[in-house]
Amino acid sequence: MASIFTQIVQGEIPCEKIFETDEEIAFLDIMPSAKGHTLVIPKLEVIKLEELPESLAISLMRTLQTVATAVSKAFDGIDYNLILNNGENAGQVVEHLHFHILPREKDSPAPFRNKIKYAEQEMQEVGARIRNYL
């Protein structure tokens, strides 16, 4: 069965899309640890980074850099974590390679400790704010 992320890629599940290329897609996390928490994934469904063909890994890193820059600028140059949980024992929950871009305010809690909820329509507003910097 296709991962939830593959279902997003195929348009079967909606998302707040931030950026898309032929090979990757970036979208807001539906259970964010901070406003602007964004996921960047390859469209090819692989579980671990080492399973991704080199050419797609290079492309993924370019997209990750582009989107991370936009996330930072959208929140006034905020610092951020880039997080990859590579496999189940590393904390990977969805079996589809994905990077987290996690904006970090001063004195913010360690990544993934706190969850926030977007207000109605706020996810779309945050998505538009980030896309503005692409």
Respond yes or no: is residue 98 known to be catalytic: yes
From 114, 112, 111, 103, select the one nearest 79 (Cα to Cα): 103
Residue 43's alpha-carbon distances to 16, 46, 63, 97, in angstroms, are 16, 9, 12, 9
The helix-helix angle for 54-74 and 122-131 (nearest 10°) equals 110
What does the alpha-carbon distance between residue 26 and residue 120 come to, in Å, rounded to a whole number? 21
**Among 37, 96, 98, 100, the one annotated catalytic:** 98
| Pure H helices in 49-121 | 54-74
Catalytically active residues are 98
